[in-house]
Amino acid sequence: MAEQTVPATAREWHLVSRPNGWPVASDFELVEAPVRQPEPGEILVRNAYLSVDPYMRGRMNDVKSYVPPFQLGQVMDGGAVGHVVASAAEGFQVGDAVLHGLGWREYATVPAKHVVKVDEARAPLSYYLGVLGMPGLTAYAGLLEVASFKEGDAVFVSGAAGAVGSLVGQIAKLKGAKRVIGSAGSAEKVARLVADYGFDAAFNYKDGPVAEQLAAAAPEGIDVYFDNVGGDHLEAAIGALNVHGRATLCGAIAQYNETGAPAGPRNLVQAIGKRLRLQGMLVRDHADLQQQFVAEVAGWLKDGSLRYDETVRDGVENAVDAFLGLLRGDNTGKMVVRLGA
């Protein structure tokens, strides 16, 4: 079967220059590369969906971080789901649906130890890149474990219409939040946060100072802040957090493409008197929650109590456009690239 269905070459994206500020299309190149048959312990996967995520922008810089940078002239990687088309590994058969980390390409030869089988009967395949995947676990662990959320908390989420933020707000409501406030970058997204995702209030950060809009939306302050943005949002949240407030520092998309020094927060001294806890998070630290997370979130999806949206771009050739669109905020929910049948 593999010989009949696997081409000799397939397309993959390479980083060819390191962006200075905002990435541009010429920083990337779509390359035709050989498809390698699996060796013992490996499987060959035809990718069905690729994930594009904000953290990938940091990997385009040649700096030391929690994950190695992309190498110039080499294929990039990221989350992907697809189907096994050839297997030289015990426990994997042709046709199995799998999740792995070799995205940004049409076909991937992957060590089986780095692959997880997924259940297409439980949820659509692309969901394992979003609500049942890394963004979903980020929202779940970041709110419940890192921020120590408790029933009755008032919660503020920045980037609230994105893959992580939209889930944080809904999980907070499902777990008994007193009030959930979100910020987003368009009137359409703000309306969706309230009408579709159940947020109690939302505002467009482009309409005026974030601190003023947050104060109006949360007159009694907030107990938890889930930060996907950084900058003026983090500064505003520090000002709004009540005594013993907690903030999960998940992302800082407002700063990823800046070439100068970040503007803030300038009010960090408030963390002393308020006894605030500001904690960074990486989702890989919370793998122990994986089974609990999938079981609970899948249940919410099944009974309709949790809403999940995707923004889908078609074709591997449009993966860079999807990534650039993600950085601009073009997506509602998770941005994925569909590679077709």
Q: CATH number, domain at 123?
A: 3.90.180.10
**CATH number of the domain bearing residue 185:** 3.40.50.720
Establish if 291 belongs to a structural domain: no
Pure H helices in the chain: 2-5, 55-58, 134-141, 165-174, 187-195, 210-217, 231-240, 270-273, 290-303, 319-328
CA atoms of 30 and 12, how far apart (whole Å): 6
Tally of domains in the chain: 2
Asked if residue 278 and residue 192 are part of one domain, the reply reads yes
Asked if residue 158 and residue 116 are part of one domain, the reply reads no
pLDDT of residue 256: 63
128-176 pLDDT per residue, tens: 999 999 999 999 999 999 999 999 999 999 999 999 999 999 999 999 9
Establish if 231 belongs to a structural domain: yes
- Using the predicted structure, report yes or no on whether residue 316 has a pLDDT greater than 90: yes
For 27, phi then psi, to 5°, come to -75, -10
45-102 pLDDT per residue, tens: 999 999 999 899 999 999 888 889 999 999 999 999 999 999 999 999 999 999 999 9
* H/E segment holding residue 15: strand 9-15
Looking at 268, 284, 300, which one is the last position of a domain?
Answer: 284
How many Cβ atoms sit within 10 Å of the Cβ of residue 200?
18
Establish if 303 belongs to a structural domain: no
Asked if residue 198 and residue 268 are part of one domain, the reply reads yes
Cβ-contact 44, 100 below 8 angstroms: no
Establish if 125 belongs to a structural domain: yes
Asked if residue 330 and residue 270 are part of one domain, the reply reads no
Asked if residue 43 and residue 17 are part of one domain, the reply reads yes
pLDDT of residue 27: 98
Write b or e for each residue in 299-327: b if 16 or more Cβ atoms lie within 10 A of its Cβ, otherwise e.
Answer: ebbeeeebbbbbbebeebeebbbbbbbbb
Establish if 301 belongs to a structural domain: no
Asked if residue 315 and residue 265 are part of one domain, the reply reads no
Asked if residue 87 and residue 149 are part of one domain, the reply reads no
Total-model pTM = 0.88
Strands 107-111 and 310-314: what pairing?
unpaired
Asked if residue 152 and residue 117 are part of one domain, the reply reads no
Establish if 334 belongs to a structural domain: yes
* Residues paired with 157 in a beta bridge: 182, 226
Asked if residue 248 and residue 147 are part of one domain, the reply reads yes
Long-range contacts of 116-121 (CB under 8 A, 24+ apart): 117/92, 118/81
| 285 conformational bin, left if phi > 0, alpha if psi -120 to 50, beta if neither | alpha
Establish if 296 belongs to a structural domain: no
Cβ-contact 91, 112 below 8 angstroms: yes
Asked if residue 101 and residue 16 are part of one domain, the reply reads yes
Asked if residue 316 and residue 278 are part of one domain, the reply reads no
30-57 pLDDT per residue, tens: 999 999 999 999 999 999 999 999 899 9
pLDDT of residue 1: 38
Long-range contacts of 5-8 (CB under 8 A, 24+ apart): 5/46, 5/85, 6/35, 6/37, 6/44, 6/46, 6/85, 6/86, 6/107, 7/35, 7/107, 8/34, 8/35
- Determine the structural domain holding residue 239 and report its residue range: 134-284
- Using the predicted structure, report yes or no on whether residue 2 has a pLDDT greater than 60: no
- Sole residue written with tokens 């505003």: 236
Asked if residue 86 and residue 154 are part of one domain, the reply reads no
Establish if 198 belongs to a structural domain: yes
User: Which DSSP symbol is given to 52?
Assistant: -
5-29 pLDDT per residue, tens: 799 999 999 999 999 999 999 999 9
236-292 pLDDT per residue, tens: 999 999 999 999 999 887 676 666 666 679 999 999 999 999 999 999 999 999 989
